[in-house]
A and B are shown apart, each in its own frame.
Chain A
C-alpha cells in the first residue's frame, strides 16, 4: 500500500478590532441590532465612496513587524466582482496583485512556516437562511444584515508548508496568539472574528513533483475542529486515491455534527472575479515614519511571553504554552498575580491551567467574562497559602466562584468552610474519635503494618468527617499520631 504525505496551506481571515469599518465611520461592533451600523458607504448606496481607515493600515504594519513581513512600497486595492445578496455592491474591495504585506514567517514549535501574503479587504454582510433548518439548501428565503459589511479583514495566506493536522492546529494557535498580542483582533473564532480555511492535498511519500489536487475545506469553527476536518480530509483523499478515484478540485464544507466534509453544489461555470484596480481608492505607500512608530511600540510576542513566564514564574514550558495559547488566559493570570498577597505566581498558573481552563472549555466562556475576577483568584490562592482552605476545599470553592459572581471569602463564609486549624479544637475532635472507636484503636495497636495503616486511615476519615472536611489535615495527622503513640 502506498504511503501518502499531506500538504496543507491555511488561509486565515481575521476581523480587525478597529473602532470603525474599513471604508466608513460606522461602528465596528459585534452583536448590534441588525442594520443599525450602516451608512451609504457600507451599504453601497448609489453615489457612495470609500475612504480608507488609517488604523487598519497601522494594524497591518504591526503584523508586518511581528512576523517579519516585507512591506512593498505600494499596495493597491482591487475589486473582486461577484453577485451575492450579502455583498452591498456586488463586488468586494480587496487586494489582488499588490497586497500590503508579503513573505512573512511563523515559528510553529521550532518549524518555520512561510506566509505568502497578507492583505486588507472588507467583510460582507450576514445572511440568515429561513426554513431549511438554518442551512442554505432547502431554505425558503434569507434575511440579510449589513452590520458586518465593510468591517476590516486581514486575510493571511500561508504557503503550503504545513505537513499535518497537528501542525495546522499549532499554526492557527500560534497565529491567534500573535494577533492577540499585537492588539489587532480579538480573535474569537466562536464570534467569527477569526476564520480558518484549509487547502489540503496528498501525494505519495517520496514524490517531489507536482502537488496533488488541492481541496479547500471551510466551516471549521474552532481549532480543534480544524484538526479534525484536516485529518478527515486527508483520509478521504487517500481512500479515494487508493480506489483509483480522481480528486476533484473543489470547496468542501466541514460538518461538525457528522464529522465529514461535503462537496458543495457545483457552481454554474467557475468564478471569474474580473479583478481590476479599485478606481475609488488611491494606492497605499507606508512611510518609514509609520513603520518606525510601530516598531517602537512593539508589544510582547507569544514566544517572548512564554520564555518570560518560564523564567519569572518558574513554570514548565508546557504550562507556559497553555497559558499563552488560550486567548486572554495569560492576561487573566497576570492580573491575578498583580494582586497576590499570599502564594506564588506558579500557584496562580496551576489553577489557571487546571481548574480554570477546564471550566473555560466546559462553558465556552472567555477569561475576560468569567464571573470570578482575577483578584478573586488571587484571593483564593492566598487563602490556601495561609492555611484557611485546604487544596481540595479550594477546588470546591473555585468551582462555585467560577460560576457565580461571588468572592471566595463570601463562599467560605456562606458555607462555613474555613479550614479549622485550631489545635485545641482539633485535639478535641481526635479525642472524641478515639473514644468512640476504642476497638479500632485496639486493632491498630495490636496489628501488623498493613493492619495499622488501614485502621489509622479509618480513624483519620472519621476525624475529617467530624470536621466536615475542614480539619487541617497536617494538624489532624500529627494530633492523631500523638494520641496513638
Chain B
C-alpha cells in the first residue's frame, strides 16, 4: 500500500525525483484549481522553490535532507511563520507578519518539508465549515457546492485535492478530525501536550492541539513523529519525548479490545450511512482479530454544553489582545477605549463576536461557578468515565462527524445546528485524549465518510495501529 509522502521522501533522498520538480507541479496545479476551491489564503511560491532547491542541493552532496524531504506541506493560517502574513482568517490581523515562527513549522522545515502556503480557516478557528473566514469559504474538492468542514477546512481540502501531500491543522473541538472526515482524508488530534503550541494562535488554550492531515495513516504518522515532542517554549508540552509511531504501525490488531461509544453513535443526528460505516469498520476489526463491544460513556452527552462554555471563555480572554494597539487593524478614535471597541467591532466576524460575548458571560461575576466552574467539573466526569471504559477497552470507535459534508450556507442561519457538528469530537478535547479520523468509503452522493478512532492520553501507538488496519480494510 502506497503512502505518497513517505514514498516521495524515499524518491527524493535517492535522487530519483527532484524536490523542485514536485513543487513546480504542485504550484501549477494550485494555480489551475484553487481559484474554485479557495483552500489557500496565501501561496508561498518563491519560498517553496528556494526550500526545494535547498533539499535538492543537500541530496546532491550526500547530506541527509530529512524525513520530510521534498514533501509539499500546507499550513493552517493560524500558525505563525516569520515575515509571512498570518491572518487567522480574520480582518483584525490582515497584513500582520509575525516576527517569529511556530515550533512545529521550524521542525517541518528542518526535516526538509516544503511549505507551499497558508490555508483557509474559520476565523480564529471558530467554526465547523470554514464559512466563518473573513476571506470567503473553502469548497469541498469532492463537491464544490459543499463545505470542507472546519475550522481547518483549507488544509483538509488542500490535502484532499492533492495540492499538498501533508497538512497541519489545529483541533479544539474537532477542527482537524471533522474536516478530515468531510474531505475523505486522515486527520489526527494528538494527546494534549504531545505537540508544542508555541506559535499557534490560541483559541482555547486547554483544548487546542496542532495535528497532521494526510491521505494515508502512514504519512500522518510520519508528520506527527516530526512535529511531536518536548518544547521549552510551551509549558503545557509534555517533557518526555514520545516513542516513534511509524515503526509500530503494522503491528496489527489481534487481541485488541474495541469499544463503540453508544452515546456518540446511536444518537438521532447521526446519518444512517455514517452509523453504517462505524459498524462496518468495527466488523472489519473483528475480522482482523480484535474484539468489539458497545460501551457507554454517559457524561459525553454534556460534552457539547461544557465545551461551549469552556472554549468561548478561554477564547474571550485569548482574543482580548486584539485591541489595535500593537499590530493588526486599528480603527482610529479620540480615545483608546473607543478605539479598542471600534477596532474589534470592525475586525471580528459574527461568530467570533458571539463566542467572545458568550465567554465573557460565562466568566463574569456571579455566573462563573454556574457556567465555567460547572463545565470544568463536567470535564472531570468525562475523564473519569473514559478512564473507566479504558480499563476494559484499548481504543474506542465512533462517527467523526454525524453527517457527511453539507451545502455551503445550509447551517449558517442557526449557530446551534452548526455546533452540533462537533458532538462526536468534543469529548476528546475536553479529556485531553487522542483521536483521529480515518476515511471509510463514501455515503450519499459519493461524499466521504470518516470513522473516528479514540484512544486514552498518550495512546497514539495503539490508535495508529487500529487506524492502519482500518485503512487497509476500508472500501
Contact = CB atoms under 8 A, between A and B. Distances in A.
Direct contact, A vs B (beta carbon within 8 Å): yes
Interface of A: 40, 43-52, 79, 81, 83, 85, 88-91, 142, 144, 272, 274, 276, 279-282
Contacts of B363: 81, 274, 276
Q: Considering residues B236, B321, B337, which has the most beta carbons from chain A within 10 angstroms of its beta carbon?
A: B321
Interface in B246-272: none
A280 B323 contact: no
A43 B99 CA distance: 11
A40 B236 contact: no
Contact of B233 (A49, A85, A142): A49
Given A40-B100, A89-B321, A48 B198 contact: yes
Contact of A276 (B78, B198, B232, B313): B313
Given A45-B99, A46-B88, A274-B364, A81 B317 contact: yes
Contacts of B365: 272, 274
B467 to A, nearest CB: 29
Most buried by B among A45, A46, A88, A276: A46
Contacts of A40: 98-100
A91 B336 contact: no
Given A45-B98, A51-B233, A280-B236, A88 B326 contact: yes
A281 B235 contact: yes
A341 to B, nearest CB: 53
Contacts of B88: 46
Contacts of B78: 47
B370 interface: no
Nearest to B359: A274
Interface string B350-364: 000000000010011
A51 B234 CA distance: 7
B360 A46 contact: no
B325 A85 contact: yes
Interface residues of B, number: 44
B336 A50 contact: no
Contacts of A89: 320-321
B234 A43 contact: no
Given A46-B88, A274-B368, A144 B236 contact: no
16 contacts: A46-B86, A46-B202, A47-B197, A47-B198, A47-B200, A49-B198, A49-B235, A51-B232, A52-B235, A79-B317, A83-B337, A85-B323, A142-B336, A274-B365, A276-B363, A282-B236
A280 B208 CA distance: 11
Given A90-B321, A276-B363, A276-B372, A43 B326 contact: yes
The prevalent SS among residues of A at the interface is loop
A89 B372 CA distance: 21
B84 interface: no
Given A46-B201, A91-B317, A274-B364, 12 more contacts: A40-B99, A40-B100, A47-B78, A47-B197, A49-B234, A81-B317, A83-B337, A85-B323, A88-B326, A272-B365, A274-B317, A279-B205
A91 B318 CA distance: 9
Given A46-B88, A276-B363, A91 B320 contact: yes
Nearest to A51: B235
A280 B233 CA distance: 11
A46 B320 contact: no
Contacts of A49: 197-198, 233-236
B354 to A, nearest CB: 18
B80 interface: yes
A46 B235 CA distance: 16
A113 to B, nearest CB: 31
Given A89-B320, A281-B235, A47 B201 contact: yes
B419 interface: no
A276 B362 CA distance: 11
A251 B98 CA distance: 39
Nearest to B196: A49
Nearest to B86: A46
A46 B233 contact: no
B206 A279 contact: yes
B201 A83 contact: no
Q: Which of B96, B98, B320, B368 has the most CB of A within 10 A?
A: B320
B317 A144 contact: no
A40 B336 CA distance: 23
A317 to B, nearest CB: 49
B93 interface: yes
A85 B98 contact: no
A49 B317 CA distance: 14
Contacts of B96: 46
B327 A45 contact: yes
